[in-house]
Structure 1
């Protein structure tokens, strides 16, 4: 979903090609998104994993590659139909490792029936890549819509984080989004404010998150 134009637009980078992702290294860019639609084979693989009741919460920390994909396949609820999903996760992990010049990637693929982080917040790490394979995708706030004094642990004296509810943005299913956090040197006060949306009753999300290093 394309964000509404505002004075904050210089802090975002959206495109349909992978070349948009390195823009996260630019000063001032806090969100870089490669917009994509899942192809039919991948969509079928995702649906197969969500067709039953078995939850998925898979973790990997190490080098991307064949061993990683094989480990994921073993853990999928429907491994016989999961090849396209494992391959896609592998390609994303390899791209992440290349972009950040690291041999180690932390990966988590999980199903969610509720909001994992329902409150708007900022990550304390440098950067994270997220993509939603099914269900509502992550939401984020342009800077003009954020009251940063409200961030952190809830307290009655804190103001609302959202200064303009109409400005809440949502990524699209399949989008590859790099979110710059407050752990990025030079970005300590400007980490992207985001949250996990609440799925509808009976709906499940399939969320992938990757951290370099």
Structure 2
């Protein structure tokens, strides 16, 4: 995994984004989950077990997703210095988290596997949107020390060009 995510520990960085390429097998596995009604699965455990349990709870084991979940959870665990992570996988079809905000956590990892990615405000005040499969780590309000915090939100799915779309989003937090 690229070291770009390590930049989150720099005092002048509030957001680190890994711009990775989309792998077809991962996209196909993730897309099949959007045929189900909207859902939220949350698991807290050591990174490898959390990834395994999350896939188990999907009731259909997707090797590509499992490998990616495990890799991201393990990397996040190191970044957050937390042996236990909380992984939340959501099939989102509404405007949840539609207001720009800073999370009340130390660090948060977000990755949109399918659909429009998380929106964030750059230092110039411009709204940007992550692309599918990009991995971002945000500093939250509970991150120790000074430094920037980046406002972000889920893209609005009830208005504009995104009406009718859905998203598959992974969120990883540290468990204190």
Question: TM-score, structure 1 length as denominator?
Answer: 0.74
**Structure 2 residues not aligned, in runs of 5+:** none
Aligned to 2:152: 194
CA shift, 1:142, in A, is 1.9
Aligned to 1:71: 53
- The answer as to whether partners of 1:37 and 1:173 remain within 8 angstroms in 2 is no
- The answer as to whether partners of 1:141 and 1:194 remain within 8 angstroms in 2 is yes
- Runs of 4 or more above 6 Å deviation: none
CA shift, 1:70, in A, is 3.4
Quick check: 129-138 or 116-125, which moved more? 116-125
Identify the match of residue 58 of structure 1 among 41, 46, 69. Answer: 41
CA shift, 1:93, in A, is 0.3
**Structure 1 residues not aligned, in runs of 5+:** 1-16, 146-166
Which of the pair has more CA radius of gyration?
A: 1
CA shift, 1:208, in A, is 0.5
Identify the match of residue 128 of structure 2 among 154, 169, 175. Answer: 169
CA shift, 1:99, in A, is 2.4
**Deviation per residue, 1:53-85 (Å, 9 max, x gap):** 3333111111011x33332223226x15x2211
- The answer as to whether partners of 1:131 and 1:173 remain within 8 angstroms in 2 is yes
- The answer as to whether partners of 1:129 and 1:210 remain within 8 angstroms in 2 is yes
Tell me the secondary structure at the aligned position of residue 117 of structure 2.
coil
Establish whether residue 31 from structure 1 lines up as the match of residue 11 from structure 2: no
Alignment coverage as a number of residue pairs: 171
- The answer as to whether partners of 1:181 and 1:191 remain within 8 angstroms in 2 is yes
- The answer as to whether partners of 1:113 and 1:204 remain within 8 angstroms in 2 is yes
- The answer as to whether partners of 1:130 and 1:178 remain within 8 angstroms in 2 is yes
Tell me the secondary structure at the aligned position of residue 47 of structure 2.
coil
CA shift, 1:181, in A, is 1.6
Identify the match of residue 26 of structure 2 among 42, 46, 68. Answer: 42
Distance 1:61 1:86 in 2: 15
- The answer as to whether partners of 1:130 and 1:207 remain within 8 angstroms in 2 is yes
Distance 1:61 1:75 in 2: 13
